[in-house]
Chain A
């Protein structure tokens, strides 16, 4: 069975598992896990890399022909700061792709919907391929789509919590309504969560903590890779839907129509 590739803006991805680069016990372990995951898009926090230094340890370990860099603006609190950081990232890392993260709340790292929308509009105007991290808010996602973002990245649960798809009712609506790719980001703590998101119809998932802090990040990366593939395959094969009443394979009343 041929898998459908995923296209975002001008790039096509075979893998629907996007990965993060934080929290790993070593840069080498991070690289090994990223490669094992099959991921083709990895997000990198601007605050962690020395953009003036091409020998930066993290950048060296994510420089691979298969990996596309997705710089993120984690740490900014306003649209204005995000736009400035994005411009610096584009210049330093030579990519116009950007994961827009504006979370002024450092405790739960929840995204600011108002500043995110303002920044997205401006960044699209400046020629960025914008992938905003946002609440699982169907209206916000449509508003972001309307200003021209390349995908939306609603959260499954608060970031880093490993709680899974706590926002599932809203994700269903977002996926149903969206005309751009939907990437479920944040909160996925187990391969089964990723598989469930893909079965739901998400176009991709982004996972970091669950891989990085596991006992064996490389094996966990492979587990997520397989789960994402399985979930997507199930979605494409069309899942049988649960029903309230029994549907007998040999109906008892069929004789009435004969």
Chain B
């Protein structure tokens, strides 16, 4: 039995959900009053009962975030390397069963995209691919990192889960951060949304942060895809996962993201579309989630993507978020090579990096392009 299975099995989905939905106002007040907050407090702060306490939660989240991170917001951009994918995921445009033109960037195209991003000012990029081990497996990823190293101080990756030795090789090449979202912590729902492909292995995905921790990666990003299942329960499991990882791989940094399901082109099944959005959370819910995470973990980095609208992003910037993407393209070659190709999901905030810098500065924050340097880990 893996250690990951131990922590996961310690929490029963139905019981957690029941605890969250039967939380009383008194329990929320207790959670708010604690100076250090536990996973039980996380349940209370994620509960419907806590919605009545959103303003004090936001005030506290703002204060705690400023104390730890100061008046700064880090900026990063995704760089989509490939939309090839061997999985079927019911919510994703890159899904194998979607008949789209597949593209994987060549060496010269990767360099061209890097130069375009560099011109915007980026020093931190997030490499993204679908899950296609044959075309975008370890050799491709190693090569991509090698090509991108001269351009960026900080390279993150969000690709298919890999084995520990693969991660070790990529870290040696300069990989700093790996994001791996469990999508949902509900086994049956996970199975329904991932009927085919390697990704259908729930446990392998759940164990990925363990393999990353053992490989010695600097930072691990976690999250649940908000909209597949009950967001409150899924978010508790994300918090419990973080809690376990922080205590096991204590030398690793962690970040949390909030990917809310977005519309995609070529959605082939109306039932899936409507079901996906039925469970989606409101803006008010997302604010509650951001604040709840901050209140139980003062140190974790919280990241918000361009899935969210400009108005929402502008307002939550002060509520606990520590990093933002801006001017993102979610299609391979989207910045310069092939801007019109199919996106993975629709962007809501299309403002340029320069526009976002203005927004951040107007709110009294300093945009941070660089917060890492390869020389700190050079051997």
Contacts and interface: CB of A to CB of B under 8 A. Distances in A.
Contacts of B246: 107
Contact of B370 (A24, A50, A107): A50
Interface in A66-116: 73, 75-77, 80-81, 84-85, 88, 104-108
Contacts of B366: 24-27
A22 interface: yes
Contacts of A24: 70-72, 366
A85 to B, nearest CB: 5
Contacts of A46: 373, 375-376
A75 B365 contact: no
B361 A26 contact: yes
B371 A106 contact: no
A93 B3 CA distance: 45
B26 interface: no
Contacts of A77: 251
B379 interface: yes
A160 B373 contact: no
Nearest to B299: A107
Contact of A75 (B66, B69, B373): B373
A73 B372 CA distance: 11
B370 A213 contact: no
Interface string B351-372: 0000000000100111010111
Interface residues of A, number: 32
A23 B71 contact: yes
A252 B377 CA distance: 71
Interface in A176-196: none
A47 interface: yes
A27 B357 CA distance: 14
A7 interface: no
A37 interface: no
B299 A209 contact: no
Interface string A12-54: 0000000000111111000000000000000000111111000
Contacts of B18: none
Given A48-B370, A160-B68, A106 B299 contact: yes
A220 interface: no
Contacts, number: 83
B376 A25 contact: no
Given A25-B366, A26-B361, A212-B71, A47 B299 contact: no
Q: How large is the interface on B (under 10, 10 to 19, 20 to 34, 35 or more residues)?
A: 20 to 34
A224 B156 CA distance: 39
- Secondary structure type dominating chain A contacts: loop
Nearest to B253: A106
Contacts of B364: 25-26
A38 B198 CA distance: 60
Given A27-B366, A75-B376, A104-B251, A47 B70 contact: no
Contacts of B112: none
Contacts of A106: 251-253, 299
B365 A84 contact: no
B378 interface: yes
Contact of A48 (B71, B253, B371, B378): B371
Nearest to B300: A107
Contacts of B70: 22-25, 209, 212-213
A27 B66 CA distance: 16
Nearest to A50: B370
A106 B250 CA distance: 8
B212 to A, nearest CB: 14
Most interface-central of A49, A75, A88 (chain B CB within 10 A): A75
Given A47-B153, A106-B251, A107-B299, 8 more contacts: A25-B364, A26-B361, A27-B366, A46-B373, A50-B153, A81-B377, A107-B250, A213-B70
8 contacts: A47-B370, A51-B375, A76-B377, A81-B378, A81-B379, A108-B299, A162-B67, A212-B70
Interface of A: 22-27, 46-51, 73, 75-77, 80-81, 84-85, 88, 104-108, 160-162, 209, 212-213
Interface of B: 66-72, 123, 153, 246, 250-253, 299, 361, 364-366, 368, 370-373, 375-379
